[in-house]
Structure 1
Amino acid sequence: MKKNIVFLLAAIIVVSCGTKVKKPEARSKFLKGFSTYYNTLFNAKDALNSEFTERDKAHKDNFYAPYIPILTYEEQPLGSDLGQSSAFAENSMKMAEVNRPQQNARNAPGMPSNGPGMPGMPGNTSQDPNNPEGNKGASVLEIAEAKALKAINKYSVIRKGEEQNKTIFDAYIILAQSRIYQGKAIKALDALNYVFTHMKEDKRLPLAHIYEALAYSQIKNYHKSEEIFNKLRNEKLSKDHDKLLSIYYAESLLDAGKKEESIKELDRAFELNGNRKLKSRIAFLRGQILQETGKQDLARESFLSAYKYANDFEFEVKSQIEIAKTFNGKGNYEGAKDYLEKISKKGTYGSRKNEFYYALGLMANKAGKKKEAQEFFRKSLLEKVSDGQVRGLAYYEIGKDYLDKNDYIGAGAYYDSALVSMTYEPSRILLQDQSSYIKKISKNYYLIKRNDSVLSLAKMSDAQKTDYFAKYIEKLKIKEEKEEQERRRAERSKGFDTGDYNANSLFANSSNSFEDFGVSAKGFYFGNTGTVSKGTSTFKQVWGDRALVDNWRYSKKMTSLEDMKNEALGVTSVPNPRRFEPSFYIEQIPSDAGKLSQLKKDRDTASLGLGVMYQNYFTNTPLATKTLYDLVDVKPEEKVMLQALYEIFAMNYEKNPQIAARAKQILLTDYPYTSYAEFARNPKNNNFVKSSEEVENEYKMAFALYESEKFAESQGKIEQVVLKYPKDALVPKLNLLNAFNAGKTGGKEVMILQLEQIVLNYAKTPEGIKAKEMLNYLKSDIAFQATDNKGNKMPDNPFNGPGQPSNIQSQNSNIAPNNTVNQMNNNPPKNNNILKKPGNNTMQKLQAPVEAKPMTK
């Protein structure tokens, strides 16, 4: 056999060294294929394999992202070899020993020579005018791309438009892969087009089409991608091609937002793939999608499959936690709890107790056991940290419990701790917003609480004040006595060994000295500044800043919360020698009417802001409505009252009209001549559709009646049309015409109200802009009789004197009719483009009016 091989090699050498030069088309297909693989193409595949290997080592699944990828880089196909086989890696090691020295000699340092046939290819930095030093090496994927191109240029054999060297197919697949993983999907499609044009009969063509669909999916052309995948599914594919197609197709459907179709394709991928790791990842992804779509029972089954097939410890743990998350609260909670508690104590699972306790807390929450859930979350914080994100989520759950109890200081403190611990950036960004909202709410909440307390005390008689503070002093004495007993007990305990010798303790090992973490040799812990610095940093990351006191795990956190609350309420933490005297507190209560009035104003303004924040930040409409109605009941100043009533009506009139009815009634009864009352009569409507022919005809008739000075009839027709077609695009124009009708029939002040309503509802439409211009003119300094918001006449401004122009020009000021009404009210411009009959020139603007913004607050 050896003799035959030697003879064959000798014959090959003789033929290849022949003096006759053949044309490219006449070259031997066999020799071309042989040379292609064992030279340049091998190097391209080896570079791609190296990149995948490095990426696989660095790959870490993010279980907190919406979805995990199915294929890790270990399973990525390598050229036309489906499944990055370890066989190639093993075989390549032998060839690499032979080829790599010459390769390194040619391409040092890490820069492939592109050759004369590949100008401008990645890696040719020495020829790049923008990089004169040529010291920036190409990436491994760029090397793979360059080598694949070199193989194609050097060894391609085309006869009669068909590629004769079948190995070139592999070169083009590697070229497409290296470009896809560089994010150059369009260039990958260019490479694949050559295969479709010149290798039409190749049996591996479905693989090229799979990568074509993948490239289209990468550039978000999901329609084309799905079209290719569906066409391939209807063809008879090899089992390996079908496995790969099912995975890429499922992920493409998911990217396109087609979750139900993606789940079906994942079911198929699960059945097709026999690899345990792939089955586990497919099941986990399917569980994530099912959980997101609210199918908790099916998601639970899918996560059970992921756990069953998992061949990775991390995957086992995360699958167990996801199984716990899908608990619906109706099953056997005690059984599930016992199972998780037992498994968390077994072997290596013990290092993940903090994660299992977090999962148990979620289960307890769903079972309605809130107190037990909080205990589990706190237990999670006491365990060794195995996952920073889980620790952050445990802090978040505790903070959320404080928030539910309206303890904003406590919630804010735990949210801040969660932000420090979390590792998943999108969660941190969302929590950062919530944390900032809580701080704003907290500021208003405690200001209201403090001012309410002061105002309540100010209303008491002297005897009531003395009695109140006498009871307070008794409670204070009991509290301080208890604290003194705790202090003495701690003093007596000093000197005794209170070390933590549990399994997670630093002292649990058999060594008698501290361990130098991060160094190979061990010695005295505090003798190494590096280990001390690292330990201090780790401690602060886990526990934050702690005082050197007994029970440091608990006392600092609780004391800090109490101190923060006292500071917010204005209570000093330093004991005062007179703290047991009622007069000490009574003296601090303000008695000046001006100061008390300012306290009430501040409290009312804070209540208004608090109600708005409940709605805007947390969409808690019931709590926002209650807070604002409580404010209305204490009779704030008119400006705050109007804004509170408007907010109540605006947030409730569509979904809770019965709750909004009271606010509407107050506005219409007590403040009938305000734009807020007008808004309550006719709430804004931003959901316009295009104008209908019937409405256009009605508008023309209403305008004709206006021109004929039949203002009441025009007004009646407009009201009927708006009531019948509230979403028509001509509604703003009809309202503007109605404002002119109102000006003619009711006077200037009624016209101003109508225009204010148009500005409020349709601010950015042409009609809204025109109404604003008209308001500025109508509110100019012309002598008038001013009225208040209830329609009562106001006395002349004493600074102007009788008959002099008044300076009252606020948005809610109203103008009574008199002999000096301006020309706009007497003679509205009939040729104004805003009011003219709808025709071809104006209808285009009316088809898509700009949505009006809500009232400026």
Structure 2
Amino acid sequence: MKTSFRLIVVLFSIILVVSSCSRKKDRFLSRNYHAVTAEYNTLFNGYNALELGRQSLNESYEDDYWEILPIERMQIMEEVMLPGQNKNENFSRAEEKAIKAVQMHGMNINGKEKNPQIDEAYLLLGEARYFDQRFIPALEAFNYILYRYPSSDKINQAKVWREKTNIRLENDELAIENLKELLEEADAIEGQDLADATSMLAQAYINTKSLDSAITQLEIAAQNTKSHDERGRYRFIQGQLYNELGKKDSANYAFDKIIELNRRTPRVYLINAHIQKAKNFNYDDGNKLEFLELLTDLEKNRENRPFLDKIYHQIGEYHMINGSDSLALANYNKSLRTNSRDKKLKARNYEILGDYEFDYANYKIAGAYYDSTMLNMEKNKKPYRIIKRKRDNLEDVIYYEDVAKATDSILTLVAMSDDERLAYFEAFTTELKAQAEEEKEKQKSVERQQGLATVNNDIKGKSSRGMTPSGKESSFYFYNSTTVAYGKNEFVRIWGDRPLEDDWRWSSKRSTKNNNTNLGQLATADTDSETFDPNYYIEQLPQDDKVIDSIAKERNFAYYQLGVIYKEKFKEYQLSKDKFLSLLDNNPEEKLILPSKYNLYKIYEVLNQQDEASIAKNDIITNYPESRYAKILLNPEQANLKDENSPESIYQNLYKELSNQNYQFIIDECDDKITLFQGDPMVPKFELLKALAIGRLNGFQEYSKAINYVALNYANTPEGIEAQNIVDEVLPALKDDTFTDAEDENSFKVVYYFNKTKDEEVVANFKTALNEQIKEVKVFNLKTSLDVYNSNTTFVVVHGLTSFDGANGYALSLQEQKENKIIHQYFITSSTNYRTIQIHKNLETYLELQINNN
């Protein structure tokens, strides 16, 4: 009986509790039950998930210290997410928990929420959506709090988060207005809320370029935040903004504030504060010795190892400014060897090294550095294009230097006696053998060390992965460290260093990163093989006089090209002079002698070597009295006026051919004259004229290539500057090859198209007949033209029609008249589309569109 009574009491109590915890009843027990359950269960788990998501965002985000840092560390993803997808599972979980809290514990009774935790659930919902980069839904959640819970203790946080979202949506002006209104309520916001509000107001000011105002707000944020992490970041951004405004002393004061925080702020801010102060160092009045000691202490501090790339770079900057080039270059290279993740820093190091080699005329090495620079830069950005232009300028000089070096080496060996050649290659193969022996010893040493390491591992105990469940050593190949190490060595010995990709066995896939592979093959080569036989190399040398003469001509032409390039493009007159003198010493072809001597004369004048200039001038006048160069030297002002064969006269005549649309003739003639007048100041003009003719004949793509060639190869001439202006301003305007719908246009054409291989008389007769018909039209002011489309097609065009239907009707009427019918294939186009057809040579595309529209 007692047991039954107790059971009834327990059941009654449970029913009483359950009924009293209803979300529909405004009772003390219900309110507190749902509030406590929501706070310590659902919302607790939701905030934990949110924090995990934020941590993953921070860990994946890399700050760019070359630019002003954002207030908040969050990488905005460009990809569009489909409904139901999310960027981070933790934020999805946090959102689910927030929704669950509202659905399971919300107590909306008579239009009023009785659970004091629901406003926090909506705040969690908004934050989760914000970090998941769904800003519009996040804004809805924050606005809901402001609308439904105006007396909530989270109201200031909701307002700050709303403006953070507005800033992400690029509504900066609105965010500034709302945050200023919030801050005017002096008693309503303080502590961390005040820091969050002012920091986001600073971000909005930065976005709108109001840097002074941003600095003021960051000062308030730094003083009120509870997080040393945030304080260090705010101070660093302050320093960056002061630097941007040119206030270095104020910037250094902000960076000193970070340095004073020391271990209380992340070390990345501390080190970058030191680096920024170093960039602001006054080399005229500052204590250089003390400054160098500071940089050296930063380098030696073991805690700074992750930041050695920045420290070495800054030490390199110090030595470069002080004129200690060798120390500077050593530190730039040290910075590169740290395997830095900062691509901009790597690009900067490579660029500095490239510029240094460029200044010392080591163009091939400079080109290699510029290649590495571009690998670490974003394509299609202005800095990338600048470096690419520099690199492209070096293309020819690198090519001809390689040709000159290779041909010089071959001709030098050919010129040796048999005994001298044998002695040379014996020394060469002896050195190869020594390298092979050295590499063998290295390989043996590596194998011995690996063997010792394996023995030590065995002594210490087998790894769990290498043991079977019974405790015995596994026989599986990849669990045995000895066999794996041996296999790796054998693979490298046999195949070399191969990338992990398809078709790896092809010889072309061999890595060229270093010479270890080649040395490894030498080490395994038989000492009696042809690799170490001097006669093997001697037999590779050319024996035929014709082949040797061809190599000599190639070498001489390379010298001539290098002389012109160094003189015209890089203004390296001493280098140019050396190349021309070497060329004249090597019995060059007749056509290269006179231009080389004239170029030498011009170089002597620039170098103020008047005696050499007089000798060169007299040589040309005496030995080549009928040449154009002699006439120029004797009478510079009159020579070109009287000579119809001068470059100027030829250029003027060719330029007139543009109006006659003889584009292919212009291109061919320009090619001839560019070769004939190599080194003459008129050559860039011929190149620019040729590019224009190529564009008219072959369209935008070919024109773009041709005009870029002129801009790159004649950068220091007026024609090169003009070409660069075309590249920067004209080409982007011409790039669009799409056709308009032409509904609003009032200028149309009837275009008859002919195969150019047809007799020109046929096309001329057709145009004459068309002109006769046009004379009878009184309503429109019609006229015809003969236009070249490309090398295969010619257009006969009727201009002056005002609508598509009118133009088509007129063409049909010409076909249907009783006498003198005009029948030929044609198309109708607006003036705008006709221009596009001629610029991009996309007639076939236009005709297909017309067929599809009909």
TM-score with structure 1 length normalisation? 0.50
Please state which structure has a larger fraction of its residues in helix.
2
TM-score with structure 2 length normalisation? 0.50
